[in-house]
Amino acid sequence: MKRVLVTGGCGFIGRHVAQELVEHGYTVRVLDVLLEQVHGAEAISLPAGSELIKGDVRDPDAVAEAVSDVDAVIHLAAEVGVGQSMYEIARYVGTNDLGTATLLEALIKRPVERIVVASSMSIYGEGLYETPDGRRIDNARRRPDEIKSGQWDPLSAEGERLSPIPTDEEKQADLASIYALTKYAQERAVLIFGQAYGMDAVALRLFNVFGAGQALSNPYTGVLANFASRLANGKRPMIFEDGRQKRDFVHVLDVARAFRLALEQRQAAGHAINIGSGHAYPISEVARLLAEAMGQSGRSPEILGKARSGDIRNCFADISKARELLGFEPRHRLENALDEFVIWVRNTGAVDRGADMKRELEERGLVS
């Protein structure tokens, strides 16, 4: 039996990862600072037998204690949120990058067999596109003046309309937010460290994760949780731009299984791997599906017609590499997995802070 440290293990994804590991015979230790924005006043529930160390991943002493006598590390501890990262810059860089550096320095003295880090689809910026004649475009970007004029979709250098296609790991990074920058630094640091010190290292690039247990009262946690909080409080979901932007939504149970597989599959070492559903969902359709599942099919979303700084238009996963290296296959589709999520929302309750988030971004000039 192996002992695994899960940093950020009390978070939404971390709790499911811990449960997945325990169910497959691992002993789990969790390091988590229990940040109020993420956890609020909720009681923390971890699988039976798990060990919890309350501490900050930036604290060398707490990290040294956490990595002692473990065989592997799953590194999830991070600040999450594109919009907030654009004005709480020191906070995001500190936790995500300094925290990762602190962890890696501790592992020099206490090596492990494998470290798996949670990276993010945000590192891609815009996803892959193709031109009308089928040319691949991996450096699409929207100009601020185009966005302000309501030209939401990126164009080619020749002004051609581009079509989004599944994004594979060969697409170059294009960092459009401070959050994306910090996640890319986390990913690269772990992979470079693993190669230098002879420890297996894997980075999982997570797309939009959903499921029961999301922080409903944290407006930066994810689009589905934001929509649910609005609907649970009798309000219309707020959608930036025109609602036609596309994302990939992957269930948290599939993500937890991917982390376990990344520990177990030897051929995954040294790789960055997309973890998504492999399906593209227009955001307005996501709002419609959720409203219907919550019995509010008549509550249409509020289309804001404005863009947030750091947002991208389209990005959804090509998961061929996850299938090949991990044997990963998603088991849950968004349209078939909302009932459990809705039950959890109703039983949990949510404080809607979406308007606060919008105001904070507008006051800083980050909405146009």
pLDDT tens for each residue of 75-94: 999 998 888 898 999 999 99
CA atoms of 128 and 125, how far apart (whole Å)? 9
142 in a structural domain? no
Query: Quick check: is 55 in a domain?
Result: yes
What CATH number is given to the structural domain containing 347? 3.40.50.720
Q: Is the pLDDT of residue 68 over 80?
A: yes
pLDDT tens per residue, range 353-363: 656 666 766 66
Percentage of the chain modeled with pLDDT above 90? 68
Please count the structural domains in the chain. Answer: 1
User: Tens digits of per-residue pLDDT, 254-280?
Assistant: 999 999 999 999 999 999 999 999 999
Task: Tell me which of 39-53, 85-99, 105-119, 223-237 is least confident.
Answer: 39-53
Q: How confident is the model at residue 132 (pLDDT cuts 50, 70, 90)?
A: very high
Report how far residue 292's alpha carbon sits from residue 294's, in angstroms, rounded to the nearest whole number.
5
Helices of type H across the chain = 12-23, 36-39, 60-67, 82-85, 89-92, 99-109, 144-148, 178-197, 223-232, 252-264, 283-293, 320-326, 338-348, 354-363
Catalytic residue among 26, 92, 129, 179: 179
Hey, which residues does 116 pair with through a beta bridge? 74, 202
Cα distances (Å, whole numbers) of residue 195 to 67, 170, 189, 192, 345? 19, 20, 10, 5, 43
Rounded Cα distance, 291 and 300, in Å: 8
- Contact between 83 and 167 (Cβ < 8 Å): no
**pTM of this prediction?**
0.92
Confidence band for 146, pLDDT divided at 50, 70 and 90: confident
Known catalytic residue at 220: no
The answer as to whether 143 is a domain residue is: no
Buried b (16+ CB within 10 A) or exposed e, 175-197: bbbbbbbbbbbbbbbbbebbeee
Report if residue 284 sits inside a domain: yes
Q: Is the pLDDT score of 340 beyond 80? A: yes
Which region among 66-70, 127-131, 200-204, 338-342 has the lowest average model confidence (pLDDT)? 338-342
Q: Which domain holds residue 82?
A: 3-128+166-363
| Distance set, CA 38 to CA 33, 34, 294 (Å) | 10, 7, 23
- At residue 360, what are phi and psi to the nearest 5 degrees? -60, -40
**Tokens (6 digits) for 220:** 């930066």
pLDDT of residue 311: 82
pLDDT at 358: 65
pLDDT digits (tens, 9 = 90+) for 147-176: 888 899 999 888 888 999 999 999 999 998
Residue 202 tokens, joined: 């894997």
Q: Is residue 134 part of a domain?
A: no
Task: Tell me whether residue 137 is in a domain.
Answer: no
What pLDDT is stored for residue 281 in this prediction? 95
In a domain, 173, yes or no: yes
Angle at 253 between CA 173 and CA 52, to 5 degrees: 90
What count of other Cβ atoms lies within 10 Å of the Cβ of residue 73? 29
Q: Is residue 82 part of a domain?
A: yes
Q: Which of 9-18, 29-38, 261-270 has the lowest mean pLDDT?
A: 29-38
On whether the CB atoms of residues 308 and 367 are closer than 8 A, the answer is yes
Q: Round the average pLDDT of the chain to a whole number and report it.
A: 90
CA–CA dist 251, 210 (Å, integer)? 5
- State the pLDDT at residue 75: 98
Residue at 329: amino acid letter: E
